[in-house]
Amino acid sequence: MKPIKMHKRTWTKINQKLRTEYPPSYFIREKMKAKLGFTVREHTAWNVNKNYDKEYAAYEEAKMSQDEMNYLLSLPPERGRTRTEIHLDFYSENKRTMFLLKYAEELADDDKRN
């Protein structure tokens, strides 16, 4: 079954709502799997900078020119960045569907930010 992926800030909002609805004992991994139907996994993803070649060429050009101000203001571009995502691994299709229906608003806000 496909996991639900979201940013940490979205998970924080959803987690706060879950903690108001369910007792603290539900957030032990095995009980969460049995009662809520999912487990939480933190995943570090690598986001590639698609414009790296263009940015690096501009950086090299500024470095080669005698214009010290542009050189001082320019920084070497990054090849990419890591981003921490939360993955919810579901074990029941019914519970996954209910989760998507219940927290659709928060997940939609998360999609808009991507």
pTM equals 0.70
Higher pLDDT residue, 13 or 83? Answer: 13
What is the model's pLDDT at position 111? 66
- Those residues with Cβ within 8 angstroms of residue 22's Cβ, 6 or more apart along the chain or in another chain: 35, 36
Show the domain range for 95.
4-113
Across all residues in the chain, what is the average pLDDT?
Answer: 84
- The CA-based diameter of the chain, rounded to the nearest angstrom, is 66
| pLDDT of 12 strictly over 90 | yes
Distance CA 36, CA 29 (A): 10
What is the model's pLDDT at position 70? 61
Domain count for the chain, please give it. 1
